[in-house]
Amino acid sequence: MTNKKPPTQIVKAAPHDPYKMRTLEQIFALFDGGDFLAEVMEGHKQLQLDLLEHKAEHGTKGCAGTMTLQISYALGKSGDVGMGATASFKPPKKPPSSAAAFINDNGELTLYSPFMARMHQPVRDATDYDPETGEVRDVD
């Protein structure tokens, strides 16, 4: 085993700074006297409610939203930092409205089904049939 020399530099502990921003919540609370943080939390809550509403009305297909936070920083000459913050929320897109209809022989939309038209034709007579079994014979 080789002998290792101890490091020549001793790491000093950083002095305690009671004003240091330690969490994102503390940083967000700086903007607009805390109003920005309240706005973000309210927007987040509304986005969650929008997701639940979309799921109840349309199911989980397309049930997605986004929250975008943007923080900008500008360093001043004396070491100060100017900051700006924006938050945007995008709820799930509502699916397009849907409907169904049929196209008639003239190329127009109608609610009358062509299958219903076939059902309303008169009953045809079967002239060639077996009287004992009732089987209809094909006419070739």
Digit-coded pLDDT (tens) for 77-118: 999 999 999 999 999 998 888 899 888 889 889 888 877 766
DSSP string, 54-83: HHHHH-STT---EEEEEEEEEE-TTS-EEE
**Element of type H or E holding 53:** helix 35-58
The pTM assigned to this predicted structure is: 0.60
pLDDT at residue 130, rounded to an integer: 81
pLDDT at residue 27, rounded to an integer: 94
- Each residue of 20-37: pLDDT tens digit? 989 999 999 999 999 999
